[in-house]
Amino acid sequence: MSESLDPSTRLRRLRATAGIRTMLTEISVEPRQLIQPIFVTESENLEPIPSLPGINRIPLSQLAAKCHELLKLGIHGIAPFPKIDESKKSADGVEAHSSNNLALRAIREVKQKCPEMVIFADIALDPYTTHGHDGILNSTKTDVDNDKTVAALVKMSVLTAQAGADFVAPSDMMDGRINAIRKGLDENGLTQTGILAYSAKFASAYYGPFRDAVGSTRKSGESLSKATYQINPANRRESIREAHLDDFEGADILMVKPAGIYLDIIRDVRESSALPIAAYQVSGEYAQIHAAAEKGWLNLKTTRDESLLAIRRAGADLILTYFAEAFAKDRQ
Ligand code: PBG
226 is annotated as an active-site residue: no
Distances in Å between the alpha carbon of 134 and those of 91, 155, 228, 229? 11, 15, 11, 9
Q: Furthest-apart CA pair in the chain: how many Å?
A: 80
1 pLDDT higher than 80: no
2 pLDDT higher than 60: no
Every domain of the chain and the residues it spans: 30-216+231-253
**CATH homologous superfamily for the domain 30-216+231-253:** Aldolase class I (3.20.20.70)
What integer pLDDT is reported at residue 219 of this predicted model? 62
Q: How far apart are CA 162 and CA 166, in angstroms?
A: 10
DSSP 8-class letter at 202:
B
pTM above 0.85, yes or no: yes
291 pLDDT higher than 80: yes
Pairing of strands 47-48, 34-41: unpaired
- Ligand 1 pocket, residue 109 CB under 6 Å: no
What single-letter amino acid sits at 246?
Answer: D
Number of residues written out for the chain = 332
Q: How far apart are CA 304 and CA 34, in angstroms?
A: 13
Report whether 273 contacts 247 (CB < 8 A). Answer: yes
Atom of ligand 1 at shortest range from CA of 134: 16
What single-letter amino acid sits at 169?
Answer: A
Pocket test for ligand 1, best of 134, 230, 289 (most atoms within 8 A of CB): 134
SS3 state at 22: helix
- Ligand 1 pocket, residue 282 CB under 6 Å: yes
Q: How far apart are CA 127 and CA 310, in angstroms?
A: 30
Q: How far apart are CA 83 and CA 217, in angstroms?
A: 12
* In the chain, % of residues over pLDDT 90: 93
- Ligand 1 pocket, residue 126 CB under 6 Å: yes
Report whether 327 contacts 308 (CB < 8 A). Answer: yes
Where helices occur in the chain by DSSP H, the ranges are 18-23, 60-72, 102-113, 146-163, 177-187, 208-214, 237-249, 263-272, 283-294, 300-314, 324-331
> In angstroms, what is the span from residue 14 Cα to ligand 1's centroid?
42
- What does the pLDDT look like over 49-96, one tens digit per residue? 999 999 999 999 999 999 999 999 999 999 999 999 999 999 999 999
- What does the pLDDT look like over 121-168, one tens digit per residue? 999 999 999 999 999 999 999 999 999 999 999 999 999 999 999 999
User: What average pLDDT is seen over the chain?
Assistant: 96
Q: How far apart are CA 35 and CA 322, in angstroms?
A: 8
Instruction: Identify the active-site residue in 66, 83, 89, 201.
Output: 201
Closest C-alpha to 93, from 217, 216, 230:
216
Q: How far apart are CA 120 and CA 193, in angstroms?
A: 10
301 is annotated as an active-site residue: no
Cis peptide before 258 (omega within 30 of 0): yes
SS3 state at 77: strand
Instruction: Identify the active-site residue in 83, 89, 111, 257.
Output: 257
- Ligand 1 pocket, residue 210 CB under 6 Å: yes
